[in-house]
Amino acid sequence: LVPITWDEAIDTIARRILAAPERFAFYGSGQWTIPEGYAAQKLMKAGLSSNQIEPNARLCMASAVTGYLATYGVDEPAGVYDDLDVADVILCWGNNPAEMHPILFSRIIDRRTRGEKVTLIDMGTRRTRTTEHAQHYLELKPQGDLAVANGVMRLLLERGTWAKDFVARHCAFRGAAEPATLQGQAIDEQAFRKGLEPFTPEYVHEVAGILPADLSLLADLFGNPALKITSLWCMGMNQHTRGTAINSLVHGLHLLSGHFGRPGDAPTSLTGQPSACGTAREVGTFAHGLPGGLRVDNEEHRHEAEALWNVPAGRVSPKLGFHTVEMWKQFCTPKPQAGAPPGTGGAIDTMWVQVTNPGQTLPNLGPLFRAKEGLEDKFLIVSEVYPTATTELADLILPSAMWVEKNGMYGNSERRTQQWFRMVSPPGDARDDAWQTIAVSHRLLELGHPGMLDKSGRWIFETKDGSGAEVPIWDFTHYYDVNVDERLFNEYRGFTRMKHKDLAPYSEYVKARGLRWPVVEQADGTWRETRWRFAEPHDPYVPKGAGFAFYHSVSKDGRAQIWSHPYTPPPEVPDESYPFWLCTGRVIEHWHSGTMTMRIPPLRRAMPGAYVELNPDDARRLGISQGERVLLESRRGK
């Protein structure tokens, strides 16, 4: 590690980009603030005409996003955290909020201390700290959640306890198409019922492990319109091979039973990062995305983005970038030799990582990260606060400011956008990630990259003060002369109307403790947030008297989709060679990749490393005792 100046670092990055913009990629996460992600997004798509940008949210949230899109035609949840305060039943589908969402979970437990009754059902493949607080623990076989959701819907239809009027007025049935698409194909109620026929309580018990009495319990609850039911899920549903299907089925179960759109009645996907929604999904920092839910492969959306960014027509490329796994594969593959056939790998030479630790969190780390070592033509830039597994292979490390050391905004999984001002100055030479991105853009401008100018001949990040004079925000000594977050956010707002993700002006977030979108201006000049989306009177886009309106409906008729998805066994099941399931879990002391929490001595002492849980009968048979080390081996590694 050889110290250099910030000027040299910024110049190094800019010159590498300038040499081959199409071979440069940006990798961030849901820990980017909204302005940081927007700055990276604008640099890439409005400046470099490149879609090689991804967040690690691709790995954790893709199933949840596609479930929302397939059901409602637009991403992001309809419910809010307020549901936890009033729900009669809270059902956890393969997640562990006691450890992974402890603040939210405390809202549930605090209700009990006030004498309120709330039934908590924990459905998962292993007992966790959440199980300790649950009245019912339903143990699943991996991927059995698909059979459970189908089995409950079968019982609702069989008993006649489904929400017939709600479904008739506001829903449509949907089946898979070949090849698979998010639109699928329309089916009728009869075809939907036929798809559920196999899911008897006995069959669900066989493939999912859930007892018939427990399946009946779930059907009793969902079949009772007087109850308010909130479903919560996270990686347990999202990470198996049928993640999109189970997300769609749980939304469908809530729609079929009518447990939707009222306080306490909601299917809610929880995110693990503070701004996986606000910065990844809403700002669209994906290889296919544009801000506000727009897409680069949609011509109308590209024109909209070019107009808002004031860049020449054609500046936003229609060519999809690489998704996360392919991006890292390309980075870790040597550059093709002269004369190699077109399409030969190694298409990314320079990778800039901000606010994440892919050296620890990527899947298949051997070929997707560690293979970078020794490749002289590959250059890894990492913006970080602490040494991590990623900085071990970095060619350039930039010291970043932490969240308390900079202005910021986050958007969470109840559509809440929240703003803060920096509380302390960053130590030493540490600087904001957004400044780093903007400084590289300005250096590219100085070096003559034409994409750093808009069609009026102005720098794409030009920022003026109240008197109209340009502020040199690329110079960190002047970065806080103005509020750069405010300038970036108010520009980003313009994108959010097309998909009814309306955001208020930045100044409104300074006054409020977060606002949930869509946030719509009222006749008296005040701004109104939305809690229960698609439902009257909460959502301003639902016409008066309609009750509900799914205004981005896949079927183009204002209806939400109730999907039919069969259960299929996991692609690998235990056999003689590999007799065990491996299901990953989380512990509270190892937040994210432990970059911060593992540096705190009490947490380190409490949980110094990961551990394996094994059934006592298997442990006895194998002669394994508590505290011993074991070697886990799969078909892919050990």
Cα atoms in the 13 Å half-sphere on the side-chain side of 416: 16
pLDDT on residue 178: 85
> 601 — phi, psi (to 5°)?
-50, -45
Here the tokens at position 363 are 């899947």
Report percent pLDDT > 90 for the chain: 90
Here the tokens at position 225 are 């319109």
Q: Are the beta carbons of 228 and 265 closer than 8 angstroms? A: yes
Average pLDDT over residues 340-352: 84
pLDDT band at 370 (very low <50, low <70, confident <90, very high): very high
Integer Cα distance of 457 and 471 in angstroms: 17
Integer Cα distance of 266 and 550 in angstroms: 15
Here the tokens at position 545 are 């008297």
The answer on pLDDT for 179 being more than 90 is no
Here the tokens at position 493 are 């707002």
The answer on pLDDT for 517 being more than 90 is yes
pLDDT digits (tens, 9 = 90+) for 296-307: 999 999 999 999
Of residues 210 and 584, the one with the higher pLDDT is 210
Integer Cα distance of 203 and 215 in angstroms: 11
Degrees, nearest 5: CA angle 474-477-483: 70
Containing 396, the helix (H) or strand (E) segment is strand 396-399
The answer on pLDDT for 15 being more than 90 is yes
pLDDT band at 345 (very low <50, low <70, confident <90, very high): confident
Greatest C-alpha distance within the chain? 78
pLDDT band at 597 (very low <50, low <70, confident <90, very high): confident
Integer Cα distance of 101 and 129 in angstroms: 12
pLDDT band at 343 (very low <50, low <70, confident <90, very high): low
pLDDT digits (tens, 9 = 90+) for 409-441: 999 999 999 999 999 999 999 999 999 999 999
138: β partners:
123
The answer on pLDDT for 127 being more than 70 is yes
The answer on pLDDT for 140 being more than 70 is yes
Q: Are the beta carbons of 253 and 76 closer than 8 angstroms? A: no
Peptide bond into 566 cis (omega under 30): no
Containing 120, the helix (H) or strand (E) segment is strand 119-124
Cα atoms in the 13 Å half-sphere on the side-chain side of 118: 27
pLDDT digits (tens, 9 = 90+) for 42-59: 999 999 999 999 999 999
Here the tokens at position 489 are 């956010």
Containing 418, the helix (H) or strand (E) segment is strand 416-420
pLDDT on residue 429: 96
Average pLDDT over residues 336-358: 86
Here the tokens at position 83 are 């549901």
> 172 — phi, psi (to 5°)?
-135, 155
In a 10 Å sphere around its CB, with 0-12 CB exposed, 13-18 middle and 19+ buried, how is residue 193 labelled? middle
DSSP state of 566: -
pLDDT on residue 213: 98
Which residues, other chains included, contact 365 with Cβ-Cβ below 8 Å and sequence gap of 6+? 359
Average pLDDT over residues 374-399: 96
Containing 497, the helix (H) or strand (E) segment is none
pLDDT digits (tens, 9 = 90+) for 544-572: 999 999 999 999 999 999 999 999 999 99
pLDDT on residue 342: 65
Q: Which residue has the tokens 């400084």?
A: 439
Residue 608's nearest CA partner among 592, 624, 590 is 590
pLDDT band at 595 (very low <50, low <70, confident <90, very high): confident
pLDDT digits (tens, 9 = 90+) for 219-246: 999 999 999 999 999 999 998 999 999 9
**Model-level pTM?**
0.96
